[in-house]
Amino acid sequence: MSFTFERLEIPEVVLVRPTRLGDPRGFFAETYRESVFAGAGILGPFVQDNLARSGPRVLRGLHFQTPPRPQGKLIQVVRGAVFDVAVDLRRGSPTYARWVARELSDSDGSLMWVPPGFAHGYVVLSDGADITYKITAEYDPKLDRGVRWDDPAVGVAWPVRDPILSVRDRKLPLLADLETPF
């Protein structure tokens, strides 16, 4: 089994394509192998796995967890399709406040690595989607933060008009009003 790793426009964010072995019955693919991912600079340990199910046009994000337990996320869509976004929150970074995105879907099984120091979000493009995450730090509600999805200073070009949002996500602060800890 093998993987290809593509560094995106913000090079710390990586698109991972696993090799799928298929036949008339379906396919098999490894989605993670510690030694191969470490060789590509994607370091665990991964200590928590999450599964989220969302309906069409649902937008979740942009979320992050602060130190002392910032989270890196390895995201994969196992059913449906999403527009997956990472926003650089590292002050002093040459890509601070910039975003990068890719469509992730069950049709090719690609994963996206979003390292600590980035906000993450997605919007569902299909009739529904199931998304899995491998996380590098356990969730801590006291450290949970976010940036407003439609912050003009970030300018994410979401491909869905009038997304469905949680009450929490509607009230997240603008980046200018956020003291980023990264």
Interval 40-73: pLDDT, tens? 999 989 999 999 999 999 999 999 999 999 999 9
What is the pLDDT at residue 179? 87
What is the pLDDT at residue 84? 98
What fold does the segment set 45-177 form as a domain?
Answer: Jelly Rolls (2.60.120)
Burial 81-107 (b: 16+ CB within 10 A, else e): bbbbbbbbbbeeeebbbebbbbebbee
Mean pLDDT of 4-24: 96
Residues 6+ apart with CB under 8 A from 13: 7, 86, 100, 112, 113, 114, 115, 118
Q: Give the active site residues.
A: 63, 133
What is the pLDDT at residue 59? 98
